[in-house]
Amino acid sequence: MIQNKPDWLRVRVPAKGSFDEVEKLLSKLSLHTVCEEASCPNMCECFSRKTATFMILGKVCTRNCTFCNVTKGSTETLDETEPYHVAQAVKELGLKHVVITSVTRDDLPDGGAGQFAAVIKEIRKVSKKVVIEVLIPDFGGDLDSLRIVMNAKPEIINHNIETVPRLYPEVRPMAVYRRSLDLIKRIKTIDSSIYTKSGMMVGLGESEKEVAEVFADLRNAGCDLLTVGQYLAPSKKHHPVIEYIHPDQFAKYKKIAEDLGFKHVSSAPLVRSSYLADQALMES
């Protein structure tokens, strides 16, 4: 295992001003962000820009992915006030682009799709112009659950493929590679006006050939937007970092993906699926 992070993974910590303001607002409204739960390296920057990715459906996940820092265990009762509170946060922060994600809730009949739809509807009440991006779980492959989210009409639906199929048994043991691809394909088949998005982590032990094959699979499924970033292990208990990928390789991945026809590609060590998400749509 590699012990020392290279220079290109150093994160500059900005002035706290807006960061504190966002933290206070989240606390006041009893909201969670994936930024905090997943220990995102860009959290200080994003909070200082008054942006955040809201995480709904509680903060306890029913899956056991070995790369993720989100809490696993007994799930929480759905908070019926959550959609309203997220909408109020969007309003108070004056967001133009909002990202809504969640833990996976395999314990719920619809996988939490109804809560996603409720959040979208509440946000529309406070702002008709805000761009809404949802980062959804696979809903166990249930088409009815996917339709619930789609019928609420978010502009972007993101579902992360995360890694190459060979590594799924050790990295995403409760997920299915083909099921994730099918979800993206179904979105485009049902409503081609919705932008589709996915993301990958690298540094888990994959090869360049395997990464390129995943890119091709995503494009064939109709994926429009792509993010590629360095995997960083949250702790020694998580899947180890096998390799720190050099920025030149990220540039190569960007070129490979663009040549396949993605509308927008973000590929760099500190890129995460929701990092500067508003720019992806503007530049696509």
- Whether 156 is covered by a domain: the verdict is yes
Domain count, the chain: 1
Place of tokens 């927008």: 264
* The predicted structure's pLDDT at residue 111: 93
Overall average pLDDT of the 1-27 stretch:
63
CA–CA distance, 53 with 67 (Å, rounded to integer): 19
Token digits of residue 170: 């050790």
The string of pLDDT tens digits covering residues 173-214 is 888 999 999 999 999 999 999 999 999 999 999 999 999 999
- Whether 1 is covered by a domain: the verdict is no
One-letter amino acid at 7 equals D
* The predicted structure's pLDDT at residue 20: 62
Closest to 29 (Cα-Cα) out of 54, 12, 50, 8: 54
- Crossing angle for the helix pair 143-151 and 113-126, to the nearest 10 degrees: 0
3-class SS shares of the chain: helix, strand, coil, % to 5: 40, 15, 45
* The predicted structure's pLDDT at residue 25: 66
Token digits of residue 230: 């360095």
Question: How many other CB atoms sit within 10 Å of the CB of residue 207?
Answer: 10
Least confident of 64-68, 170-174, 260-264, 269-273: 64-68
- Whether 77 is covered by a domain: the verdict is yes
* The predicted structure's pLDDT at residue 1: 47
Q: Please give the helix or strand (H or E) that residue 102 lies within, else none.
A: strand 97-102
Overall average pLDDT of the 67-93 stretch:
82
- Whether 2 is covered by a domain: the verdict is no
CATH number for position 94:
3.20.20.70
User: Domain residues for 80?
Assistant: 7-283
